[in-house]
């Protein structure tokens, strides 16, 4: 039996890792699974979180597997098949990865006899749809066009009118995909997987034709458009100051346009926090201890010196 390959795509901060953890807890806990985690920078955050769940995680960092690391993805899949023989491989691409390119790698002849592309699922943040489509259309639309199933995130925070507007906009980009609008706490991961595994799409060639006819863009790779600043740090941050410090990432004049920030930091009292920043939203929660703090900031026109000065004592 061929190993299933599930690709869980979505723009920066949409909720891909949260969705994968939901799948693992509510449906896939008894399957033999390996996760391929691709971070745009060198400092892995999401891979660390998934490993804490006891999963086998293969990290491919320092770039995007849809452009500069295509060979790494192919070799990683072959290595996983040789060493682990899993029932399922879940690929979580970088948030700025092009889904079309990842699909093509997974369907090359050397993999077709041992694997099959299964779920093609894209997570879309309903609150930031307009922001992403207007600023990063080439990358954002590609993830929507090539998905079989589209799962809206943060719908519990949105109005019905907003959800309907975003759903209609997605339909214009991809009229064939199933769109799930239910809040995540009201739908079981088992139901989402059942839907996604039953969704069938036309061939990649047909998708290419739809894309070329409907969307005439310059073709860029992620490193041409997005910048990353990252570092590891042993600094201990003050609990009372950390939220103000992280909320300051929205200051475009100081830092440039930050579209994603995430990290693991040590705070006073020998505690650790996990933070996740997207424009106008910051989530901070305590977590179990780690070996060192680390941060990753992704955006455009980043002021890396200012970031370094703000998070002082970071090399």
Same fold, 3-214 and 226-310: no
pLDDT category at 165 given cuts 50, 70, 90 is: very high
Residues 213-232 pLDDT 10s: 444 444 556 556 788 898 88
With 0.85 as the threshold, say if the pTM is over it: no
Determine the Cα–Cα distance for residues 32 and 35; give it in Å rounded to an integer. Answer: 10
Residue 106, classed as helix, strand or coil, is helix
Q: Are 119 and 6 in contact (CB under 8 A)?
A: yes
- The CA R_g of the chain, rounded to the nearest whole Å, is 19
Q: Tokens at residue 83, please?
A: 């060493």
| Class of the domain covering 226-310 | alpha beta
Ordered by start, the domain boundaries in the chain are 3-214, 226-310
The single residue listed with the structure tokens 């799948």 is 23
**Residue 13 near residue 298, CB atoms below 8 Å:** no
Q: Which residue from 140, 216, 152, 159 is spatially nearest to 187, judged by alpha carbons?
A: 152
* pLDDT, tens only, 79-100: 999 999 999 999 998 888 889 9
Give the CATH class of 3-214: alpha beta
Backbone angles phi, psi at 248, to 5 degrees: -65, -10
The pLDDT > 70 percentage for the chain reads: 82
Residue 303: pLDDT band by 50, 70, 90 thresholds?
very high
Strand partners, 266: 236, 272
How does residue 61 score in pLDDT terms, banded at 50, 70 and 90? low
Q: Which residue has the higher pLDDT, 311 or 111?
A: 111
Residue 60 is given by DSSP the state: E
């Amino acid at each position: 039996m061929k190993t299933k390959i599930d690709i869980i795509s979505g723009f920066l901060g949409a909720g891909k890792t949260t969705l994968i953890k939901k799948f693992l807890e509510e449906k896939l806990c008894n399957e033999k699974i390996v996760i391929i985690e691709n971070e745009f920078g060198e400092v892995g955050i999401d891979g660390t979180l998934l490993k804490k769940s006891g999963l086998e995680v293969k990290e491919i960092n320092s770039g995007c597997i849809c452009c500069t690391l295509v060979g790494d993805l192919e070799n990683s899949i072959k290595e996983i098949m040789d060493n682990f023989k899993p029932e399922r491989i879940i690929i979580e691409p970088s948030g700025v990865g092009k889904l079309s390119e990842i699909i093509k790698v997974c369907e090359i002849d050397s993999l077709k006899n041992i694997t099959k592309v299964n779920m093609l699922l894209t997570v879309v943040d309903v609150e930031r749809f307009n922001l992403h489509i207007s600023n990063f259309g080439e990358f954002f639309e590609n993830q929507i066009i090539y998905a079989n199933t589209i799962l809206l995130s943060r719908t519990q925070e949105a109005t019905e009118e907003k959800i309907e507007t975003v759903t209609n906009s997605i339909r214009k980009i991809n009229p064939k995909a199933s769109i799930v609008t239910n809040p995540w706490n009201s739908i079981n991961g088992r139901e989402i997987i059942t839907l996604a595994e039953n969704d069938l799409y036309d061939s990649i060639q047909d998708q290419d034709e739809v894309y070329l006819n409907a969307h005439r863009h310059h073709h860029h790779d992620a490193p041409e458009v997005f910048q990353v600043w990252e570092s590891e740090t042993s600094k201990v941050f003050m609990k009372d100051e950390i939220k103000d410090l992280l909320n300051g990432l929205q200051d475009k004049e100081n830092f440039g346009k930050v579209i994603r920030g995430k990290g693991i930091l040590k705070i006073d009292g020998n505690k650790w926090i996990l933070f996740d920043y997207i424009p106008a939203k910051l989530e901070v929660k305590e977590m179990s201890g780690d070996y060192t703090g680390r941060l990753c900031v992704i955006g455009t026109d980043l002021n890396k010196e200012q970031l370094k000065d703000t998070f002082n004592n970071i090399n």
